[in-house]
Amino acid sequence: MAIVEVKVPQLSESVAEGTLLTWKKKPGEAVAIDEILVEIETDKVVLEVPAPSAGVMAQLVKNDGESVVSEEVIARIDSEGATQVSPLEVKAVADVPAAPAAAAAPASTSKSDVAMPAAAKLLADNQLGVADVAGTGKDGRVTKGDVLAAVAGGAAAAKAAVPAPVAVPVAAKAALPAVAAPVQQKLGDRPEQRVPMSRLRARIAERLLQSQASNAILTTFNEVNMAPLMEMRKRFQDKFEKEHGVKLGFMSFFVKAAVAALKKYPVLNASVDGNDIVYHGYFDIGIAVGSPRGLVVPVIRNADQLSFADIEKTIAQFGQKAKEGKLSIDELTGGTFSISNGGTFGSMLSTPIINPPQSAILGVHATKDRAVVENGQVVVRPINYLAMSYDHRIIDGREAVLGLVAMKDALEDPSRLLFDI
């Protein structure tokens, strides 16, 4: 028998611990190498834990819903084990109650002293009795996984543990939810549900409160006539998609316009570190993306060096990964400036909250036809309201307003972006 330990992957320095979601394998079940055994939720991403070896799941050291840290052992695999006990073997034991499990085990009429056939052989091979191992099978029967756990941890330790293996009996799993489930109170026609926050939601709440408490947040607004941009997009979107294999959206223009403004007003791209202002000589733009788990902000690295097609492809990949919960910690770390597009959901106006330690964020909203005045005439134009929140500790109103105007100018005349003016 060769035991292989399953460990928690190395987490980022900014991630202290994670939470085990639902185990996909139980003790005694066959495991294929690289098969996903469980997922670990952190405050940023969900990590998949693959099997480091093929074999049989011997022991679950950590249960569903428990907290874990980097490199912690969460399970053990018997790399030389056979497949799980067949239903026929289970039925054979169930039909012969109070039968001795092995010659080495004392006779007993209690079901808790019965070992499964595969477990009985292991008991004999390791010179253990049924009484030396705490059973977690039906009615307390000793399973192969129980014996493997006892051998791995020492027979004495396994006997003293309550219970020795951490694997939860099937009956207990049916009664206890994998991760704290919603608690619904029956209050007649006024029901309530109490749902614990996920790690991601708790982290979002913590960072938003941190931002509000530590930054002197002020928001400036402006409106953009999107007609020139919409016309350009309409002219080139078919050719763009054929050439690059991705649709031409508006976000790439917002990213490019933001980078252009940040170059002109570097303090918008800076951050505060104690009593110092850190000016970043690169442009890593965070894009707020909604996911089933909550809001995440993956980062487009070196956005100033990317083409429109590169930006659109990156954003599309982020959206898909967020939907599947596949964003990596590296993709969610860092960023010097963020863009939040509430217009996707129909928002007309909002005041976005800064993503610490950044000092500014751009809020984009839904483009709607509105009556505006041009050359003394009331005309209808597709208008988008932009909002930029900034940290007034280091960014004065002048830089904030002029920075937003620079974004407005670039969007209303997209040719500026081609000539960097």
Return the sign of the alpha-carbon dihedral for residues 46, 47, 49, 50.
Answer: positive
- Contact between 347 and 368 under an 8 Å Cβ cutoff? The reply is no
In angstroms, how far is CA 182 from the centroid of its own chain?
20
**Which of 365, 403, 401 minimizes the C-alpha distance to 384?**
365
Q: Which token pair is 281?
A: 């000589």
Instruction: Dump the DSSP string for 70-101.
Output: TT-EEEEEETT--PPPPHHHHHHHHTSTT--S
Measured CA to CA, the distance from residue 221 to residue 282 in angstroms comes to 25
Active-site annotation holder among 304, 392, 409, 413: 392
What residue ranges in 182-273 does DSSP mark as E strands?
A: 183-185, 192-194, 217-225, 271-273
396 included as an active-site residue = yes
- Contact between 390 and 270 under an 8 Å Cβ cutoff? The reply is no
Measured CA to CA, the distance from residue 391 to residue 413 in angstroms comes to 28
Return the sign of the alpha-carbon dihedral for residues 311, 292, 334, 410.
Answer: positive
Radius of gyration (C-alpha) of the chain in whole angstroms: 30
Peptide bond into 357 cis (omega under 30): yes
Active-site annotation holder among 396, 409, 413, 420: 396
At 292, is the secondary structure helix, strand, or coil?
Answer: coil
Catalytic (active-site) positions:
392, 396
